[in-house]
Amino acid sequence: MKNNHVFIEKLRSSGLRPTKQRIEICKLLFDRKDTFHFSISDLENNLENLSNKKISLATIYNTIHAFREKGYLKEISINSDKTYFDTNTSDHHHFFDESKKKLIDLNDNDLGKIKIKKILPGKKIKSVEVLVRITNDK
Amino acid sequence: MKNNHVFIEKLRSSGLRPTKQRIEICKLLFDRKDTFHFSISDLENNLENLSNKKISLATIYNTIHAFREKGYLKEISINSDKTYFDTNTSDHHHFFDESKKKLIDLNDNDLGKIKIKKILPGKKIKSVEVLVRITNDK
DNA sequence: ACACTACATTAGAATCATTATAAATTATAA
DNA sequence: TTATAATTTATAATGATTCTAATGTAGTGT
Ligand SMILES: [Mn+2]
Ligand SMILES: [Mn+2]
Ligand SMILES: [Zn+2]
Ligand SMILES: [Zn+2]
């Protein structure tokens, strides 16, 4: 249970004004032990339930995009209809459970080293993402 | 320059009726030496230009989805606004040039082996996709 | 405390890729 | 040829995301 002050500082230190909406979203996203994955609609639901205040959808999008730009969140690529975000911003990869539509972290020791041997002149690597799609056995 | 008969057989052999729309799309997708990547809107444009006949957008979607289900096409995951397809259906990975919004194949020798050491009980791996995002240097 | 201004929130509209609908057409088998 | 199911099509619907423009608010300076 973190103090709001922690989030106010976090926001201020990256040039974002600590509004009550942003603090509320911070509490839902960052006031917990484990990182997790969510979609905008997940977040929307959690804000309606766990929290009481009503935050407009536009603000939810604005905030999540601001947080992503500030490096508080990672955007995860699944060619699904919706975008997923990750509060784990470290370099890591994912299982995507197609049955449950859920992302699961792959830690460094869950995956061998990825070596990219091809180099394109004039280009630099921005990120390397591994997505392992899984489904129910049988 | 393949004969239409090739495509008629291809379609029939997988239980798809060889309509003129499907044959036309086959010609654009499979009547060439190199494989390539495309979006639905790319294909729509090519059908309008290179080919003369008008094929409705619904049919383009239907056909591409049918071809994907039959294994003629691979769907590529980029969290972009649109879905990309690949006429190279072999197991391979990609660069995605964020500047040009273009996919580039990574061959087996361009990438070290991917080892997944984590196993989830009751789940099986459906696919492993590596996406290397690149941008212009400097 | 007050006023100013840039930043932020908001409801609602717009966008746009994709999917659904339902009527007309066509391929194929009987 | 006729019957049937598959396919095409125009068009509407969907749904995530972005845009707009009006209103509200946080921080700064007086
Ligand atoms: Mn899709
Ligand atoms: Mn996006
Ligand atoms: Zn993760
Ligand atoms: Zn490819």
Instruction: Work out the average pLDDT over B25-48.
Output: 96
| Confidence band of B138 (pLDDT split at 50, 70, 90) | confident
Report the SS3 class of residue B102: strand
pTM given for the model:
0.91
Q: Report how far residue A36's alpha carbon sits from residue A42's, in angstroms, rounded to the nearest whole number.
A: 11
Question: Does pLDDT of A3 surpass 90?
Answer: no
Residue A111 touches chain B, beta carbons under 8 Å:
yes
Note the CA–C1' distance, B16 to D7, in angstroms: 10
Instruction: Work out the average pLDDT over A53-58.
Output: 94
Q: Report how far residue A7's alpha carbon sits from residue A28's, in angstroms, rounded to the nearest whole number.
A: 11
* Radius of gyration over every alpha carbon of chain B, rounded to an integer in angstroms: 17
A vs B, Cβ pairs < 8 A, gives 124
Q: What is the pLDDT of residues A57-83, one digit of tens each?
A: 999 999 999 999 999 999 998 877 889
Read off the tokens for A92: 């890591």
Report the SS3 class of residue B39: strand
- Residue B85 pairs in a beta bridge with B38, B75
Name the class of domain B4-85: mainly alpha
Report the SS3 class of residue A42: helix
Report the SS3 class of residue B85: strand
Q: Report how far residue A9's alpha carbon sits from residue A4's, in angstroms, rounded to the nearest whole number.
A: 9
Q: What is the mean pLDDT of chain A?
A: 93
- What was the pLDDT predicted at B37? 97
Q: With CA atoms as reference, report the closest residue to B40 among B22, B62, B23.
A: B62
Span from the CA of B75 to the centroid of ligand 1 (angstroms): 8
Note the CA–C1' distance, A114 to D22, in angstroms: 51
Q: Report how far residue B71's alpha carbon sits from residue B87's, in angstroms, rounded to the nearest whole number.
A: 10
Domain residue ranges in chain A: 4-85, 90-134
Find out whether A100 and A80 touch, Cβ atoms under 8 Å. no
Q: What is the pLDDT of residues B49-78, one digit of tens each?
A: 988 889 999 999 999 999 999 999 999 988
* CA-to-CA separations, B60 to B13, B48, B55, B65, in angstroms, rounded: 20, 12, 7, 8
Span from the CA of A44 to the centroid of ligand 3 (angstroms): 20
Per-range mean pLDDT, top range of A43-57, A75-89, A103-117, B18-32: B18-32
Question: Does pLDDT of A50 surpass 90?
Answer: no
Q: What is the pLDDT of residues B79-127, one digit of tens each?
A: 778 899 999 999 999 999 988 889 999 988 899 889 999 999 999 999 9
Instruction: Work out the average pLDDT over B27-45.
Output: 96
CA distance A102 to chain B (A): 13
Report the SS3 class of residue A135: strand
Amino acid at A95: F
- What was the pLDDT predicted at B78? 87
Q: Which nucleotide lies at the shortest CA–C1' distance from A57?
A: C10
| Confidence band of B7 (pLDDT split at 50, 70, 90) | very high
CA distance A53 to chain B (A): 31
Q: Report how far residue B135's alpha carbon sits from residue B138's, in angstroms, rounded to the nearest whole number.
A: 9
- With a pLDDT cut of 90, the percent of chain A lying above it is 78
Find out whether A84 and A78 touch, Cβ atoms under 8 Å. yes
Q: Count CB-CB contacts under 10 A for residue A37.
A: 19
Q: Which of residues 30-89 of A touch B (CB under 8 A)?
A: 75-79, 83
Find out whether A94 and A106 touch, Cβ atoms under 8 Å. yes
Question: Does pLDDT of B13 surpass 80?
Answer: yes
Question: Does pLDDT of A13 surpass 80?
Answer: yes
Helical H runs in chain B?
4-13, 20-30, 40-49, 57-69
- What was the pLDDT predicted at B93? 95
Cβ pair A124:B137 closer than 8 A: yes
Instruction: Work out the average pLDDT over B20-48.
Output: 96
Cβ pair B98:A126 closer than 8 A: yes
Q: Which residues of B5-43 are buried (b: 16+ CB within 10 A; e: fewer)?
A: eebbebbeeeebebeebbbbbbbbbbeeeeeebbbeeeb
Give me the sign of the Cα torsion angle B122, B128, B132, B133.
negative
